[in-house]
Structure formats: C-alpha cells, structure tokens
Structure 1
C-alpha cells in the first residue's frame, strides 16, 4: 500500500466500525483449504514436529543440529525459532515429557546481559512447556526466579519492532504476569513505541526501512498490539492502517512473502505469520480460510500455507525446519484457537 492516510482517525467509534476490511470478492468464490486437505497436511507436519522434539533435532534429514544445546548456542542454549516451535506443539495438543522439559532446563541460558527478545523467547518457551515462567528453576537449582520480572527489567530501547513485538506478546501471555516495580516499560508504553515505529506505508519492517514491505514484521506487530490490549485511539488507528497494509500485500495465491528490490517471494513462514496475526484478532480471523482480503485474491492464506507442506511433513523452501515446521504448526494452532474464540498465546 503506497497511499498515505491524509488524517488519523480520532474517534474510537469510527476505528472500531472500520476494523472489518471491505472486499468485493464473495466468500464462495475463493478457494479454501478443504477439511480433507487440512486433516492430511496438518497431521503430516505435526507428526514431523513431534519427531523433531523427541530427537532434539532441528530437522529429520539433511543439515540439522540440536534444538537444545549450550555448546552450539552458548548465548541462548537453544536454536533460533525454538519458542515458536514449542508454542506450535503446545497449541496442537502435545504433552511434553519430563525428559524434554529437563532438556530445556539443562540448556536454556539466562544471563544478566540477555537481550529482551531472547528473554521473551525464554518466557514463551518455558510457559509453553508447562513450566512456570514466574518460578523457573534451571536444572539442579532448588530456588527458582521470575523470568517475567527479569524481562520487564530488561531494556527495550534499542530493540527492533519484531523484538519489541515478541516482548509484548510474552508479557501478555498470562493474567498472572504482573508488571513489577522498577519495570523499564509497560504494555502501554511498549504499544506506543510500536505505533511510533509504523512506517509511511503503514507497515513495519525489521530494520525500520522506509518503503520496504515486510509481511512478517507487520504481522508480528499486529499480533502484539492485539495481545497488549491497549485500547487507545492511536493504537486502534495504527492497527487499522496496519491491517489494510497487510491486505494490500496479500498475493493472489493467498500467500504472503518478503519483498527484496521490488520482488516479492511468497513463502510458508511469512504466510504463517500473517495467519497468526489474523487469528489473534476476532474481527480478522475470517480472512484465514473463509473470505478474501481483496478482490484479486483467489485462495485463502490457510490454503496457501498448506501447499508448502511436503509429503514428509517438512516445509518446502524453509530456511530451517525448526522455523518452517515451528511457525506453520503455530499458525495452525492459532487458527484452531481462534475458532474457539481463544488465543494460542494465552497460557496461564
């Protein structure tokens, strides 16, 4: 979307009324993922994910490494993408074993210098596994400590929009997550930061580069703003603009992608991120697999995402299977939760 809004909506009522995107495409004319396709392909990739966690491997073939390993990942103790992977498993009904929980507790690295996004991933992973992020006990420790408090006490000032989104999602996971005294941010101040970093095209990018079209970061910010539940006029107006931007960059195939030098490459991960964002907003979930976001769209994002699931359950063209399988399973879980008027990120 290249048109700038000439004025910001100042009435909360107008914002709420406008949140449902208009479309000239009838829901019946768009190709949806059928029940049979959903059952078959979801089963494949969920089965692949279960094998990955049982083997502690980032994939089942080709180049792969340990998911949890202090040696391989001395700053985090886990491979990039592990928190989404665990949340996806949790959201699809997986029951983590004591052995798997111990593996996380033996390897997860929490340091004084741990940055906010890394801390946020730890909070989400611990909570997803059924452990208590407010009383996390590393392996061999009798006394636990509060990861949520530590996160609130970590600076977010120089973090990217995607990192700040992860933080906002993490602190919004449970009603038991309370902002402590001496916190360096609040949900309101973090939401305001994200609104301020919105670009002129009304999206968000990883590096705040004007003119870029970044479906992944835009989707993450939209999901975070919904989870933050800061219902100010500015936040609502920002979300509406962001949703319109996301609709504008949807491909006719229903997929989303990253744009580099003017060329957009649709992919499973970008599509999954968009589905997660749409699923976390009650007014937007219909665009996952029921209605078109714009007239040129011929397939739903859910249909598009499932086309990337290989026969093995791995994800076609994924940078790593931990990212690919993890985010696709998280998107599936997010939509399942949305159909029950829940959020995949709510874990008390």
Structure 2
C-alpha cells in the first residue's frame, strides 16, 4: 500500500489540474460534476485494494458466483478467466509489485500451444509483460524450452479477425521493444492500416463492421491500438481524431458510456473505462476524462466511472470483478500516467 500512497501523492497536483480543465465553449458548465482529487483517491484505493485481495486469493470476486482467476481446469483453452490481462496491467499501472510466486502462477497456468488464437496470445503477452515476465522467452515450470509468444502472434493471420482482436494484438505488440520475425504475416504498420480501413462512416468501429452496431467499447479499443501503433500515417492520425469525435458524441448525459440494445441503453463502468483509456492516449484529449464536452452532459466520465465503485471496492453491475475492477483500475492508471505524459502500456 506504500506504493499506492506514493502514487496518489505524486498524482495529486496533476489530478487537481485535470479537474479544473476548461470545458468546450459551447457547453454549459453549471452544475456539472467532476471527480475531485480526494474522490478519485478514495475510490481508486478501494478498487485497488479489492483487486489485490482477488489476486492473493486467486478469486474473481468475493460475493455471488465466483471462480478462480487462473485455472487450467476451468479455462482449458487459455488457463485464465476473460479480462485477466487488464486486471494484471491495472494493478501494475497503480504500482503493485508482483511476487515471484505470482509470476510463476501466471506463467504456469496459461495454456499456450500451436492452436492458441491471436486473441489468447495477445492477452497473454500483455499479462506476462505486466507481471514482469518476458513474453519472448516465457518459461513454464518443468518445461525444457521457452515460448516466444510475440513470434507466435506475428505468425497469425489477422486480416479476417474482428477489430477487437486486431486492436488487442496491436496493443500487445506495443508493450515492449519486441523483435518482429522476418516471415511475419503482418507488421504494426500494416495492422494499423487494417484497423483504419474498418472504421465506419459514423467514425466509430463495430465488432462486425456494421454501422448499426458501432459501439463505444470497440471504438475505444481501436483508438488506443492506433495510438499505441505509433504510425506516422496521416490516415491513422485522421482515424484517431474521428474516433475520438465519435466517443465525445456517444457519452450519455450521466457522463458514462455504454451500449444500446433493443431500444434501451446500458451505461456501465467497463464501457466508461474503455473510453477513459482512449481519451488518455492523446494529450489533447486527456482533459475530457474529467471534463464535460457535450450539451446536456451533467457529469465527467471519471466521476461517472468511479460512481460504480462500491465502498468495498467491487464494481456495480460487472459481469465479473476480474473484468470490472480490472478495467476500472486500468483506466485510473492510464489517466494518471497520461497526466505525466506516459502510457500505461509502456511497461517497464
């Protein structure tokens, strides 16, 4: 907890500045709620503490239906529950120090072989990198050879994959200075261009490339991936700007983000966290995280997201706390690091 207190102290000045960020001129500011530094610190401490307990006990939560976070038996194709990479990176980004035993458990639990999908490889790269392991030389207890997850991912064809998988792959490959094999099926530059081509006419992205199904989650992931790809292409920069515009228009009056289904809207912590991460990828949009930018908006995205954090640290409405707490912590870490001109995905 000492590292957490240090991080909060170091972030205080930046948080106060961000809280006071000037709104766009055409938005009425009266009565708009933003997250004060004290509110952010309190809520972040709660979710961070909850996540630490989850990791120690290897549980997806402490109420309702729970299971192991890491288990080959429970997850035979991956060895870990969905969302574990964000969960681990969120902890890392907020200053958590993983033990040797925890690193070993992550490495030994993951199911990785020739049949592993691009999605599984990408999340494994992020997860192993987050806990301090080398995804290019991953050693599992008792194994004679090391595994190169990066090379394996580069040898997967991503052309027909969903935007989510393409984005996850590009983000994974940006977490370190990895060597690209000479016979790779893509490069970070070509993958960036593929994601750009999948952008829809309304400036968003969807899981199935249909305009009617464009959503904040997929759009936010695509923006984050393109920013992490660091392409100098004007097409990429334009796509990022258009995507950010889509997100600004997609915010609910409550400041949250979500999805629509059968005429109903479902704002939630995870969609809001994804948008915050996307806004934190560029210095000209970081102010939107704890600001207001659309007529009728009553609350900032940061305040809205933290409103889902219970006093216990768990997240209201989350499918699992691994995903809920994990992405909220990751969004908090992304925002704090962006205030210091760093990225939570630049893992050291």
Counterpart contact for 1:223–1:281, Cα < 8 Å: no
1:234 to partner: Cα distance:
1.2
Deviation of 1:24 after TM superposition, in Å, equals 1.6
TM-score, normalised to structure 1, is 0.90
Is the 8 Å Cα contact of residues 207 and 214 (structure 2) preserved in structure 1? Answer: no
Take 2:346 and 2:301, find their aligned partners in 1: how far apart are those partners? 23
C-alpha displacement at 1:22, in angstroms? Answer: 5.4
Contact 1:213 1:259 in 2 (8 A): no
Which of 133, 143, 149 matches 1:141?
Answer: 143
**Which position in structure 2 is the counterpart of 1:16?**
none
Query: Of 24, 27, 35, which aligns to 2:26?
Result: 24
Name the residue aligned to 2:78: 76
CA displacement 1:141-176 (0-9 Å, x = unmatched): 2532321111111121221101100000011111x2
| 1:23, distance to aligned residue in structure 2 (A) | 4.8
Deviates more, 1:216-225 or 1:22-31: 22-31
Partner of 2:17: none
2-side partners of 1:262 and 1:203: how far apart? 19
**Residue 27 to residue 333, structure 1, CA distance change in 2 (3 Å):** farther
Contact residue 59 and residue 322 of structure 1 kept, 8 A = yes
Give the superposition deviation at 1:26: 6.3
Partner of 1:129: 131
- Unpaired segments of 5 or more residues in structure 2? 1-22
Q: 1:265 and 1:112 mapped to 2: Cα distance?
A: 38
DSSP 3-state at the match of 1:193: helix
State the secondary structure of the residue aligned to 2:165.
helix
Pair 23,168 (structure 1): closer, same or farther in 2 beyond 3 Å: farther
How far off its partner does 1:178 sit? 2.4
Q: Distance in 2 between matches of 1:185 and 1:195?
A: 15
CA, structure 1 residues 23+327, in 2 after alignment: closer, same or farther (shift >3 Å)? farther
Q: In 1, distance between residues paired with 2:154 and 2:94?
A: 29
How many residue pairs end up in the alignment?
326
User: Match of 2:342?
Assistant: 342
Post-superposition CA distance 1:224-247 (Å, at most 9, x none)? 000001121211221121111111
- Once the two structures are overlaid, the 10-residue window that deviates more, 202-211 or 73-82, is 202-211
- TM-fit CA distance, 1:263: 2.4
Deviation per CA, 1:62-88: give whole Å up to 9, x if none.
111011100000100000000000000
What corresponds to 1:18 in structure 2?
none
- Preserved CA contact (<8 Å) 1:84 1:330: yes
Q: How does 1:242-281 map to 2 (within 5 A)?
A: 242-281=243-282
Q: Distance in 2 between the 1:273 and 1:205 partners?
A: 14
Question: Which structure 2 residues correspond to residues 1-348 of structure 1 after superposition, within 5 A?
Answer: 23-25=25-27, 30-174=32-176, 176-289=177-290, 291-348=291-348
Distance 1:178 1:263 in 2: 46
1:267-323 Cα deviation digits (max 9, x unpaired): 00000000011111111111011x322222221100000000011110000111111
TM-score by length of 2: 0.90
Displacement of 1:30 in angstroms is: 3.3
